[in-house]
């Protein structure tokens, strides 16, 4: 270290004179000093100003270019040296050296560029401008099938360089993808699966690129799924597996890749992991169990992959997942319930599962999570029940199994995801089930909670579902008692507001419920209807050209029904309904036109 | 596809030109899926765990709203978390945050239970007027967290929002990006060793 400053001085002179022998000696000396103390040596190198001289030593004719590149690679390990390297104009000659045929030169150049790009915007953009990425990708492509150790080392460095070049930078990632790096990397992974360092670097590079949405289509057209699963099966170490998981998770967001992963046998690996780790309390095992079961659920989000794994409800995967639900492990319970919820995505699957006792299993699970329960498990189990309650023939079966009672235990929950799914389940269950709708509609506790949630403006989903359930209770029960309960709990104003929802379906559900109220319990509800300004809203809906035909039709039906109330009738008279209604007689929709005539007659007669 | 759980309002304050919008855009583009639309379909739904990236961030960028003090008060009273952005290239932009901070304290009572983050954006710029230590001292005085970001380089952007949610102790929330974050850390460490 003492003679480092001498060396640097000497180097300054010799670099200019290009007296080769002494130059070599000086460079060796620098490399030695760097090996001893990289940071301190780098500081001195920067202070001496010889960085600027390096550019001239990197020419293709220079005999010591590999050594100089090596020195640059070493100094660029320090963050403070990266921008100086760019400023010293080293990037362009380094990128030129990538065209060399000499393996050592390529290796040191790749290292130097890779380290300069590490976490450095300046480094990356300089390499980008010099066009370095394309040359490296071309090398990878032409060298990818050579398996001697020296070549594999070079490939590893090049992968690392591309990784550092594009890390955290969307546009450079996109650039690499456009240059076609993905198929080459997948090929590398397949050919060099025995080389741990290279394999690891490929995985890191994949992880980097897989986050970009546009990469997934390209990945889907390679055999990445197969290669990754093959690799995964060989790994026993936790860290390596986690690395593969990190690539798998973003890739598995693509439906085509989901199916490929299922076909490559990933699910079997995941089930095995779960089996191995379920009783362990080691942190690594717990993480792996979570990652594995999460990935399992992710695979079930694709329609095709889900159906393939269901195998008519007889598949071993489905059976295994089923066994997770009664387990004592929350993560498995969660994954099991989510899996069932996702298997429950068509009528055939739902009917099969309900016939085979899934409802009881889910109810048992929910029952274990009532007091101080796990919110994610509650949400997952309720989501499963909601989907299962969609086929008509399942509703009666689920009602007689006591699903409503089980679900109502969560009415006191303060968690919006749980509230949301609780509401969804009840709404699906009572669809066209008059008796159940009447029973629930007379449940004061439920109705009061619904009214409360109708105002939950912070949670659009909860608000929408409670409004819809309120309307559904009336529409499916057609019960005076239900209407009275809802009036008493203050629900009328929400139904009126719902008539102005941005969704036609919800508007219509509100109008139908209001028409039933007007037909069955107008006297009970008229005060609330009046203060909620229903008549004015109906006028607006009829006058607005954008209102859907069914909204116009039902608004007119409702107007006629409201005339039975003195105060509301008076409001109708005060607004110019005849004008808007008579215009609708020529509406292109026949039902609307017909109803307009009827309503017009009614308005004329009653005025 | 994913369903909603919590709407979570993050209010972003800062003087003109400090990069509030690009910070928010960078984040929204990088992490967030479309905001939730209430379900109106009565069909089957895909289901993912409710602790996964389902918290909807409502980001209120208060550009120019100092002309409307009522609006400012409203966004503070409705906000769950606050990001106070200044540019490290402008001392004045830091000074302008003082009154806003005071208003937050006034409306919320105290900031101890509320995630507040002071953010020095444009940390990629070389023409600094506010050095890191100076801003840290302000953050200490305000009892809030501090971070430097660069929306331009996408530096610390995800981390900023993640950190903000970590500060929120009363809710169990996650943007589901911790995995990626630690992954990135691992990745870069490894690469440095290799080259």
Whether residue A94 is found in the same domain as residue A68: yes
Q: Quote the minimal CA–CA distance from B91 to chain A in Å.
A: 25
Q: Which of A403, A431, A459 is the last residue of a domain?
A: A431
Nearest chain B residue to A210, by CA = B180
Query: Given the structure tokens 């596809």, which residue do they identify?
Result: B1
- pLDDT of the residue at B60: 54
Q: Where a domain ends, among A390, A408, A431?
A: A431
Query: Are A292 and A419 in a shared domain?
Result: yes
Q: Does B3 contact A417 at a Cβ distance shorter than 8 Å?
A: yes
Domain assignment of residue A222, yes or no? yes
**Could you tell me which of A350, A263, A343 has the C-alpha nearest to residue A306?**
A343
Instruction: Burial-class residue B174 by CB neighbours within 10 Å (0-12, 13-18, 19+).
Output: middle
Question: For A36-46, how does the pLDDT look when each residue is reduced to its tens digit (9 = 90+)?
Answer: 999 999 999 99
Q: In what order do the strands lie in the sheet with B7-14?
A: B56-61, B7-14, B81-87, B116-121, B145-148
Alpha-carbon distance of B83 to B101, in angstroms, equals: 10
Å from B103 to nearest chain A CA?
Answer: 23
Residue B119 pairs in a beta bridge with: B85, B147
- Asked if B51 has any chain A CB less than 8 Å from its own CB, the reply is yes
Phi and psi at residue B176, to the nearest 5°: 60, 35
pLDDT at B177: 29
End-to-end CA distance of chain B: 42
Give the range of the structural domain holding residue A373, as residue numbers without chain letter.
272-431
- Domain assignment present for residue A603? The answer is no
A208 shares a domain with A91? no
Name the residue facing B38 among A156, A338, A461 (closest C-beta).
A461
Q: Which of A405, A431, A457 is the last residue of a domain?
A: A431
Residue A567 domain-assigned?
A: no
Query: Are A285 and A423 in the same domain?
Result: yes
- Would A121 be classed as within a structural domain? yes
Residue A328, classified by CB atoms within 10 Å of its CB into exposed (0-12), middle (13-18) or buried (19+), is exposed
Do residues A572 and A563 touch, judged by C-beta distance below 8 A? yes
Least reliable range by pLDDT among A33-42, A585-594, B105-114, B179-188: B179-188
Question: How confident is the model at residue A458, as a pLDDT?
Answer: 64
CATH code of residue A172: 1.25.10.10
User: Domain for residue A542, yes or no?
Assistant: no
| Token duo for residue A122 | 């300046």
Could you report the per-residue pLDDT of A172-221, keeping only the tens digit for each?
A: 999 999 999 999 999 999 999 999 999 999 998 888 898 787 788 899 99
Q: Is residue A594 part of a domain?
A: no
Tokens describing residue A134:
């394309």
The beta-carbon neighbor of B183 closest among A73, A246, A383 is: A246
Whether A46 maps to a domain, the answer reads: yes
What is residue B59's predicted lDDT score, i.e. its pLDDT?
55
DSSP-assigned states of every residue in A485-548: HHHHTT-HHHHHHHTT-SSHHHHHHHHHHHHHHHHHHHHHHHHHHHHTTHHHHHHHHHH-TTS-
Residues of A within 8 A of B194 (CB-CB) are: 156-157, 160, 197, 201
Of the pLDDT bands very low, low, confident and very high (cuts 50, 70, 90), residue B32 is very low
* Nearest-angstrom CA–CA distance, A505 and B44: 17
Nearest to A550 by CA among A590, A519, A580: A590
Contact B116, B142 (CB under 8 A): yes
Q: Which residues in chain A are contacts of B42 at CB distance < 8 A?
A: 390, 428, 431
So what's the pLDDT on residue A168?
A: 79
Distance from CA of B25 to the nearest CA of A (A): 14
Question: Which pLDDT tens digit goes with each residue over A118-140?
Answer: 989 999 999 999 999 999 999 99
User: Are residues A200 and A326 both part of a single domain?
Assistant: no
Q: Is A221 left (phi over 0), alpha (psi -120 to 50) or beta?
A: alpha
Please write down the HEC assignment for all residues of A46-81.
Answer: HHHCCHHHHHHHCCCCCCCHHHHHHHHHHHCCCHHH
Q: Is there a contact between A464 and B39 if contact means CB atoms under 8 Å apart?
A: yes
Q: Judging by beta carbons within 10 Å of its beta carbon (0-12, 13-18, 19+), is residue A163 exposed, middle or buried?
A: buried
Q: Are A25 and A10 contacting, i.e. CB atoms less than 8 angstroms apart?
A: no
Q: How confident is the model at residue B23 (pLDDT cuts 50, 70, 90)?
A: confident
User: Is B39–A376 a contact, with Cβ atoms under 8 angstroms apart?
Assistant: no
pLDDT in tens, A487-521: 999 999 999 999 998 788 899 999 999 999 999 99
Q: Which residue of B has its CA nearest to A333?
A: B49
- Tell me, yes or no, whether A106 and A54 share the same domain: yes
Predicted confidence (pLDDT) at residue B181 exceeds the cutoff of 60: no
Predicted pLDDT at B194: 46
Are A227 and A310 part of one and the same domain? no
Please give the Cα distance from B176 to B161 (Å, whole number).
11
Any A CB within 8 A of B2 CB: no
Q: Point out the residue among B47, B49, B191 whose CB comes nearest to the CB of A163.
A: B191
Instruction: Give the rounded distance of the alpha carbon of A482 from its chain centre.
Output: 40
- In whole numbers, what is the pLDDT of chain A averaged over residues? 93
Do B57 and B32 contact (CB within 8 A), yes or no? Answer: yes
pTM of the prediction?
Answer: 0.74
ipTM of the complex: 0.73
Q: For chain A, give the percent of residues with pLDDT over 70.
A: 98
The sign of the dihedral angle between the CA atoms of A203, A208, A211, A214 is negative
pLDDT of residue B69: 63
Q: How distant is the Cα of B141 from the closest Cα of chain A, in angstroms?
A: 31
Q: Do A290 and A426 fall into the same domain?
A: yes
CB contact under 8 A, B4 and A505: no
Interface with chain B: mutation pick from A108, A283, A362, A417, highest number of B CBs within 10 Å: A417
Q: Do B44 and A461 touch (CB under 8 A)?
A: no
Number of domains in chain A: 3
Query: What is the predicted pLDDT for the residue at B61?
Result: 53
Phi/psi region, residue A342 (left: phi>0; alpha: psi -120 to 50; beta: rest), is: alpha
For range A2-22, the mean pLDDT: 73
**Angle at Cα B30 formed by Cα A287 and Cα A460, nearest 5°?**
85
Two tokens, residue A157: 């460095």
Residue A56 buriedness (CB in 10 A; 0-12 / 13-18 / 19+): middle
pLDDT tens-digit series, residues B143-161: 888 999 888 777 888 778 7
Residues A117 and A142 in one domain: no
From the CB of residue A367, how many other CB atoms can be counted at a distance below 10 Å? 12
pLDDT tens for residues A57-83? Answer: 999 999 999 999 999 999 999 999 999
Residue A436 lies in a domain: no
Statement to judge: residues A245 and A298 lie in one domain: no
What would the pLDDT profile of B82-113 be if each residue is shown by its tens digit?
A: 889 999 999 988 998 888 899 899 888 877 77
Per the DSSP assignment, residues forming a β-bridge with B84 are B13, B118
Does pLDDT of A352 surpass 90?
yes
If asked whether residues A291 and A218 sit together in one domain, one would say no
| CB pair distance less than 8 Å for A115 and B195 | yes
Whether residues A37 and A164 share a domain: the answer is no
pLDDT in tens, B41-59: 477 888 887 765 334 455 5
Confidence at residue B56, expressed as pLDDT on a 0 to 100 scale: 46
């Amino acid at each position: 270290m003492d003679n480092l400053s001498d060396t640097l001085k000497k180097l300054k002179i010799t670099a200019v004179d290009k007296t080769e022998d002494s130059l070599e000696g000086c460079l060796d000396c620098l490399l030695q000093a760097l090996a001893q103390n990289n940071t301190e040596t780098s500081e001195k190198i920067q202070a001496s100003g010889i960085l600027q001289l390096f550019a001239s030593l990197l020419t293709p004719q220079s005999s010591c270019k590999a050594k100089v590149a090596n020195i640059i690679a070493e100094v660029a390990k320090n963050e403070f040296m990266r921008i100086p390297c760019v400023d010293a104009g080293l990037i362009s000659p380094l990128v030129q050296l990538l065209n060399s045929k000499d393996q050592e030169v390529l290796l040191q150049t790749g290292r130097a560029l890779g380290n300069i790009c590490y976490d450095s915007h300046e480094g990356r953009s300089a390499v980008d401008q010099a066009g370095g990425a394309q040359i490296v990708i071309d090398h990878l492509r032409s060298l990818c099938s050579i398996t001697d150790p020296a070549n594999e080392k070079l490939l590893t460095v090049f992968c690392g360089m591309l990784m550092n070049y594009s890390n955290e930078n969307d546009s450079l990632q996109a650039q690499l993808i456009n240059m076609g790096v993905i198929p080459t990397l997948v090929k590398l992974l397949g050919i060099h699966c025995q080389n741990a360092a290279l394999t690891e670097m490929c995985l890191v590079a994949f992880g980097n690129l897989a986050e970009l949405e546009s990469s997934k289509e390209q990945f889907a057209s390679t055999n990445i799924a197969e290669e990754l699963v093959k690799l995964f099966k060989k790994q026993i170490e936790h860290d390596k597996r986690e690395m593969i998981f990190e690539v798998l998770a973003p890739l598995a967001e693509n439906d085509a890749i989901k199916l490929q992963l299922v076909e490559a046998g990933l699910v079997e690996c995941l089930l095995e992991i779960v089996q191995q780790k379920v009783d362990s309390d080691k942190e690594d095992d717990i993480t792996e169990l979570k990652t594995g079961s999460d990935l399992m659920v992710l695979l079930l989000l694709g329609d095709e992959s889900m159906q393939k794994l269901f195998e008519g409800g007889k598949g071993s995967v489905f059976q295994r997942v089923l066994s997770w639900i009664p387990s004592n492990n929350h993560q498995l319970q969660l994954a099991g319930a989510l899996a069932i919820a996702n298997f429950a995505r068509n009528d055939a699957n739902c009917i099969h599962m309900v016939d085979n006792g899934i409802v009881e299993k889910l109810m048992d699970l929910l029952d274990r999570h009532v007091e101080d329960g796990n919110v994610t498990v509650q949400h997952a189990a309720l989501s499963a029940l909601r989907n299962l309650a969609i086929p008509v023939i399942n509703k009666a079966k689920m009602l007689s199994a006591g699903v409503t009672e089980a679900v109502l235990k969560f009415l006191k929950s303060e968690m919006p995801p749980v509230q949301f799914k609780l509401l969804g389940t009840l709404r699906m269950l009572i669809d066209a089930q008059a008796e159940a709708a009447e029973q629930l509609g007379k449940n004061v506790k439920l109705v009061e909670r619904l009214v409360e949630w109708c105002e939950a403006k912070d949670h659009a989903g909860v608000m929408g579902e409670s409004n819809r359930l309120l309307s559904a209770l009336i529409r499916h029960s057609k019960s005076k008692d239900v209407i009275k309960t809802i009036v008493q709990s203050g629900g009328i104003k929400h139904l009126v507001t719902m008539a102005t929802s941005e969704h036609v379906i919800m508007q219509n559900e509100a109008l139908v419920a209001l028409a039933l109220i007007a037909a069955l319990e107008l006297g009970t509800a008229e005060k609330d209807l009046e203060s909620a300004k229903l008549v004015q809203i109906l006028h607006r809906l009829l006058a607005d050209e954008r209102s859907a035909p069914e909204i116009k039709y039902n608004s007119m039906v409702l107007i006629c029904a409201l005339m039975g109330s003195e105060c509301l009738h008076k409001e109708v008279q005060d607004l110019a309904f005849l004008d808007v209604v008579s215009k609708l007689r020529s509406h292109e929709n026949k039902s609307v036109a017909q109803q307009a005539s009827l309503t017009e007659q009614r308005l004329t007669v009653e005025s | 596809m994913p369903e909603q759980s919590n709407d979570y309002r993050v209010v972003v304050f800062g003087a003109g030109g400090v990069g509030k919008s690009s910070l928010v855009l960078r984040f929204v583009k990088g992490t967030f899926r479309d905001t939730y639309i209430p379900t109106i379909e009565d069909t089957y739904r895909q289901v993912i765990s409710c602790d996964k990236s389902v918290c909807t961030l409502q980001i209120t960028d208060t550009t120019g709203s100092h002309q409307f003090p009522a609006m400012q008060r409203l966004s503070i009273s409705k906000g769950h978390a606050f990001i106070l952005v200044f540019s490290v290239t402008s001392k004045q932009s830091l000074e302008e945050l003082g009154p806003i901070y005071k208003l937050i304290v006034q409306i919320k009572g105290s900031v101890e239970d509320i995630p507040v983050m002071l953010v020095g954006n444009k940390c990629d710029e070389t023409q600094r007027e506010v050095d890191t230590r100076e801003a840290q001292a302000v953050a200490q005085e305000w009892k809030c967290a501090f971070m430097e970001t660069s929306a331009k380089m996408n530096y610390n952007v995800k981390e900023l929002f993640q950190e903000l949610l970590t500060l929120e102790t009363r809710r169990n929330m996650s943007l589901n990006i911790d995995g990626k974050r630690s992954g990135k850390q691992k990745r870069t460490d490894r690469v440095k060793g290799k080259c």
